[in-house]
Each structure stands twice: as C-alpha cells, then as structure tokens.
Amino acid sequence: MKRVSLLFLGVFCQLCFSSLALYALEQPEKSEPWIITLYTENDSSYYVPGSTADRYYTHGSKLTVTHQPAWGNALADKLATVLPIGKNEPVHTAVGYTLGQNLYSPDNISNATLNVNDRPYAGWFYGGMYLQRSVNDKEFDHLELNLGIIGPSSLADKTQHVVHKLFGSPNPNGWENQLNDEIGINFNYQHKWKFTVKGDNQGGLTMQAIPQVGFAVGNVNRNLSSDVTVRMGWNLPADFGPGRLDDVVSATTPSQPQNLSAYGFVRAGGRYVEHDLFISGNNDHHSHGVAEEQWVREVQYGIALAWKRMTLLWSNRHITKEFKQQSNSHVVGSWVVSYTHPF
C-alpha cells in the first residue's frame, strides 16, 4: 500500500505541476478576486469555552490564498476526462496555495518520560496546492496535494514552547520523545453536493444540506470519510459550507454578500482510518507509536458571519477516540477569518 501510494502521488505531482507550468505560460490571466483565509484550531479555552485540555491534536494553523486563473479552467478541462463532474455543464474553478503547521501531543505534557500507552509528540509543517471545481452551485470537487516535514524540523516543539511561555501555560516537557524527521506527502480529495431544503436564499430564512465524501492517500494519512452539514440562516454565501483546516471553504464563486450573512450549522460524520502517522509513528517504525482506532466519528457545530469582503467563523468539533488506549473523546475549537481582495 505504501509503495502504491507513493507511486500514485509522485505521478500525480509530476503531471499536476507540469500542467500548471504549461498553462500558466499559454493562457492569458484575467483579473479575479483573491481570497486570503487563516484557519486556526486549538483545544484551549480561547477556542473551546471552559476547556482545560492541552493534548492529542492540540493545535493547527493554516493559511490559504485562492484565486481563479485562466489556466485553472484549462487544467479542470483536462481533469474532466478522468474525473468528470456535472453533465457537460459549465464548470467554475479556483486554485489555492497553502502553508500550515499541526501539533500533536500526549495527554500529560508535563511528564518528560515517554508513556508507551499514549500517542507520540509530533509536528507537521507543510505547503501545498489545490484545485476546486463546481457546477451550477450544486456539485463541488476539491483536490489537494501537500508536501512537508514531520519531526524536529517541523519546529512544532519551538512553536508550543513559545506560545505556552507567552500565555503563561504549563511548559511541555516531552518533546524529546517526538517523531523523527520524515518527509510527508499526501493527496486529499472531497466531493460535495448542495441541496436547498427550505427557502430560496433571497433574503429570507434558508436551510441547506451539504453531504460529502472523500479520501486521503499518502505516507501521512490514508482514510475514507463521509459527512453531512446542515446550515440555516439569512443571505447564505454562495459556497459549499463552512470551512475548517482539513476541509477548506470553496472559492469557485467568491462573490461576497453585500448584506450581512449569518448562519448556524451542524456537521456530523466520520472516517475509516487505514493509517495515521501522527498516531502510529514514523513509517520506518523507528519511533514510538500506538494503534489507531479504525472508525472515528465527529460532530461539529458553529456560527458564521460574512459581510462584503470579510468572513468570520467559530466552531467546536467533538472527536471520538483516535487510538486504542485513548481514555476519552476530544474537543477542538476553530476560528476562521477570510478576506477577499480584488486585484
């Protein structure tokens, strides 16, 4: 599985970036809005009201920049021959660039001794690129390729030490036991549908249902996932649901509501996990690791506000046990801030 995944990703990477370079030279650029979005996730009380947790998936930050270049349309046309979307209908596209860092830790960060029954310390610093496609505001694709480093070179230990010192939090003492340096590469795919359940989004109350399926393949994560989001509010934006760090918001229709947009949402689903490096340890098995739970379920709820060029979102996500020895579930909060700038 590992060799097949790496071979697939290597071929995809070569084809993708060769196509990007070719179309960037051949296709004329058109002026389009650029969307800059910052995703931050944490389990502290700044994100989860009343929380005292500092464990497991303890923090993630991700910056994305998205636009709609002409070569994105050309690339989507080529992709349609192997991964069709819609029924010969016009396809809207967007291209995005990412830079992020994730931090993972065991339950007790004050203990400097390795706990063989708990998940390892791990960091992941990465960059990537994605292509999005949508049809008639009803169907949506997201294809994302990320490349990065796991281990001390991810600087995750430095990040946590600095942040904890800044906010007066307990000093994390066990980063000497973190995973070893390893190059990580992962490909993520998500497909969404959008249905209007109530209203018509012409100023009144509107409810939408947004189911989705997806998968991840690579030497970092391999899983299958599915969930459904239900959101209800006024002046809903023309996207495919609220974004989060591992499921960024759609940018194929970047027009912002001129009137205030406000909605609440609930998302429920889960994933089947075949491999999670941040739990099972380095792929060469020369590090500490524990056994993953194969079935992981999640429930997320939150609120979002958008007006003209700005969007703000807050949410909490309840995640069931992710490894065999985990004592209880975990709650992670999220803040998302987005700004659209015309160039």
Alpha-carbon distances of 289 from 103, 113, 121, 172, 286, rounded to whole Å: 15, 15, 10, 19, 9
Report the chain's mean pLDDT, rounded to a whole number: 89
Q: Two tokens at 15?
A: 């084809």
Higher pLDDT, residue 221 or 199:
221
Taken as a whole, the chain contains a residue count of 343
Secondary structure of residue 200 in the 3-state scheme: coil
How do residues 166-177 score in pLDDT, each as one tens digit? 888 889 999 999
**Taking 50 as the threshold, does the pLDDT of residue 337 lie above it?**
yes
Residue 23 has pLDDT above 90, yes or no: no
* Residues 6+ away with beta carbon under 8 Å from 216: 186, 187, 188, 189, 222, 223, 225
Provide the whole-model pTM: 0.89
Tokens of 236: 């809903």
Query: What is 2-342's CATH number?
Result: 2.40.128.140
**DSSP-assigned letters across all residues of 290-339:** -PBPSEEEEEEEEEEEEETTEEEEEEEEEE---BTT--S-EEEEEEEEEE
pLDDT, tens digit, 9 for 90 and up, residues 89-109: 889 999 999 999 999 999 999
Task: Check whether 254 has a pLDDT greater than 80.
Answer: no
How far apart are alpha carbons 64 and 99 in whole angstroms? 7
Residue 11's pLDDT band, with cuts at 50, 70 and 90, is very low
